[in-house]
Structures are given as C-alpha cells and as structure tokens.
Chains A and B, each alone.
Chain A
Amino acid sequence: MQSKPIALTVLDVLSVIGIGAATYFALVFAPTEAVMGNVQRVFYFHVGTAWVGMVGFVLAAVAGVVFLITKDLKWDRLEFAAVEVSAMFFFITIALGSIWARPAWNTWWTWDPRLTTAAVTELVYIAYFMLRAGIEDPEKRARFGAVYALLGGLSAPVTFMVIRLFRTIHPVVIGNQSAAAQGGFDMESGMLIAMFVAIGAFTILFVDLIWHRVRLAKLEATVEEIKLKNSI
C-alpha cells in the first residue's frame, strides 16, 4: 500500500474549504429570491452537483474508450470511479430538484421530459453497476463496463438537450428559456457568483473523490489478486 500523496492531502483540504465557501455563498452571501424565498438557495448546489455529475459521465465514457484502446486497467479504475462518484452527485441533483419542485411546481415529481431523462440517466449507471456485478473475470468486466459507459455517455447528453428540444416546465440555466418553463427566476449578480463558487467547489471535491476512489480500486485489485494466488 503506497502512502498518501501530499497533493491528495492538499486537495482534501481544498475540497473542505471549497464546500465551506460554497455553503457560505449559497446561504449567506447570495440575496434571498424575492418570490420563492430561501428554498431557492438549494439551486446553487443543484447546479453544482448536476455539473460534476454530467462531467463525470462524459469522463467515464472517455476513460472507457481509452481503456478499450490501451487495455490498461488503470483507465478502467478511473472510469468506475467517475461513474460511482457522479452517480452519487447526480442523485443529490435529482433530490434537490425534487425539493425545489415541491414549492415551485406544487409537486415532488412530475413526468416532465427533463426530469424523466435525468431519472433515466441515473438508471443507466445503476444498470452499469449491475452489469459489472454479474461478471467475475476482471478483464471482461472492464471491457463490458467500458462499452456500457460509452453507451451511457452517448445517451446522457439528451438529458441536457431535452429542455431545449421539447416543451418542458424545467427552466434553462444557460441559453434560451422554453415558453412553458415555470419556477425559474432572474438571477442577480450575487446569485451568479454563488452559482460559480458552487460549481468550482464541487469540481474540486469531484476530483478529490475520484482520486480517493481510484486508490480504493487499486487496493481492491491488489486484494483480489492475492486472493486468487492463495486459492491456487
């Protein structure tokens, strides 16, 4: 077991500071939204986690492709780490969206195209874990995982595009608003700053967690190897 690199410790500290700062900006610095009140403050973390969730799914797809080309298991570990961490963040995104939806749309959940595709994206990665759990051979597991991560990465962008293609009640943060969108708000500069602080903080935390997860995967591989050797 190699010792913990200093850079990782630094990243740990930065993550804690970052999330602390993002919480401060979201809860104290940003102005209270005029109509919806304080619940709007979950929006910053909603965007932050959605951002790292999406980035992670794309990263997993890219790492999967690199694995298929190089056959180097370190890319498989990166891919798996990215999926696991992103699935966790994306779950938070959906939960926060639901909490915002209750006061804004008067329902916890609605089968709007955006919400549906978001739920489906999360399901893709749950299926990914089930696929990997069903294969014993580590090499084959990595190969199939890479293929599935790639397919998932191809269908995930629909989640992002769907609010621009179809009439949906989910507001658009970047770009033009759909006419049917409800529960959006005009962002003041303080809100914009808080949003970018949250995005930055979650990006640092995301890198940090992936690093930890990759190290854990390495440890898993070592133990698995020793187990195999002992059983022979």
Chain B
Amino acid sequence: MDTINTDGYMIAGYVVTFASMGLYLLSLYLRKRNLQRDLETYQALNDEK
C-alpha cells in the first residue's frame, strides 16, 4: 500500500499548535504588562496623597 501524501495536514497541525501556544504566551505577557501599569499608576496616586 502506498503512503498517502498528508503533508498539508501535518503542517496545519504544527501551525495550530505553535499558534495556540504563542497566543497564550502573548496573553500572559499582555496581562502582566497591564497589571504592572495599573500597579505603577496606583503607586503614583498614593505618592501624591
């Protein structure tokens, strides 16, 4: 039996995997940055008082 050419599916699989992990990492980074910005704002507010 001949091997079927399924390269396209393989590429799709790896694209999906790395895209998902990349998006998750990006979301972690963005959430962290926003929180740090919030934190700095509050600290600046408290210093003014």
Residues of A within 8 A of B (CB): 1, 23, 27, 32-42, 45, 49, 85, 88, 91-92, 95-96, 99-100, 102-103, 205, 209, 212-213, 216, 219-220, 222-223, 226-227, 230
Contact = CB atoms under 8 A, between A and B. Distances in A.
Given A37-B3, A37-B4, A42-B14, A223 B39 contact: yes
B9 A39 contact: yes
B7 to A, nearest CB: 5
Interface of B: 1, 3-7, 9-10, 12-14, 16-17, 20-21, 24, 28, 31-32, 35-36, 38-39, 42, 45-46
A219 B36 contact: yes
Chain B interface mostly: helix
Nearest to A85: B24
B30 to A, nearest CB: 11
A202 B42 CA distance: 38
Q: Of residues A1, A39, A213, which shows the largest number of chain B Cβ atoms within 10 Å of its Cβ?
A: A39
Given A41-B13, A42-B17, 14 more contacts: A1-B39, A32-B3, A34-B3, A39-B9, A42-B13, A42-B14, A45-B13, A92-B17, A92-B20, A95-B16, A103-B9, A223-B39, A230-B45, A230-B46
